């Protein structure tokens, strides 16, 4: 099985569209080269994403969700517990060294919503095995996370059809 020579930390953040999609594009590239990818979604559950359905066809792609299946406007104790489980699961996956790419989708939002502590994620980054590529997505990446990252991309919304009343479209936004 191929392994990365050196794994880095990438952050996709900002108010624009495409953070999860960028991470999934990276996953597709990695899978195409025989690498193993594990995606952990904080805050999401149950929604059927076309990209996930396609990637599940790859035997080297694993995926788990730790949300309640609702858009969080106000967090609850249950949300804190689920985010904590997601973070602990992330640690276990990285410690296992079985996967080349680990994606923590919406982890930045989990920190912004104070479901998990920034220093816990910093600690996770610091404990990352040398040959694991770690991807963190979501709006509002804290400065401490940006400082620890090797690559940071900020998605900036310039124009969005939602402002014209066009909702997410099957096969395009999900």
The pLDDT tens digits of the residues spanning 138-161 come to 999 999 999 999 999 999 999 988
Segment holding 31, helix H or strand E: helix 19-32
pLDDT, one tens digit per residue, over 90-135 is 999 999 999 999 999 999 999 999 999 999 999 999 999 999 999 9
With cut-offs at 50, 70 and 90, classify the pLDDT of residue 163: confident
Instruction: List the domain range (segments joined by +) for residue 108.
Output: 9-131+143-154
State the sign of the Cα–Cα–Cα–Cα dihedral 53, 149, 88, 115: negative
Write the CATH number for 98.
3.40.50.300
In a domain, 167, yes or no: no
**Best CA proximity match to 160, nearest among 171, 169, 152, 151:** 169
The answer to whether the beta carbons of residues 14 and 45 sit under 8 Å apart is no
Q: Is residue 21 part of a domain?
A: yes
Is there a domain that residue 161 lies in? Answer: no
170 in a structural domain? no
Question: Which residues have a Cβ under 8 Å from the Cβ of 172 and sit 6 or more positions away?
Answer: none
**108: in domain:** yes
């Amino acid at each position: 099985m191929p392994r990365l020579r050196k794994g880095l930390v990438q952050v996709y953040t900002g108010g624009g569209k495409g953070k999860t999609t960028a991470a999934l594009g990276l996953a597709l590239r990695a899978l195409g080269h025989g690498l193993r990818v594990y995606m952990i979604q904080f805050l999401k559950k149950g929604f059927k994403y076309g990209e996930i359905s396609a990637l599940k066809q790859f035997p080297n792609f694993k995926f788990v969700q730790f949300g309640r299946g609702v858009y969080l406007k106000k967090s609850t104790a249950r949300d804190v517990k689920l985010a904590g489980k997601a973070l602990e699961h992330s640690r276990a996956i990285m410690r296992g060294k079985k996967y080349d790419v680990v994606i923590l989708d919406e982890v930045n939002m989990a920190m912004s919503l104070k479901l998990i502590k920034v220093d816990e994620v910093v600690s996770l980054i610091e404990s990352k095995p040398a040959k694991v590529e770690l991807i963190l997505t979501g709006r509002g990446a804290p400065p401490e996370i940006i400082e620890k990252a090797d690559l940071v991309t900020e998605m900036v919304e310039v124009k969005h059809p939602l402002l014209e009343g066009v909702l997410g479209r099957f096969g395009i936004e999900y």
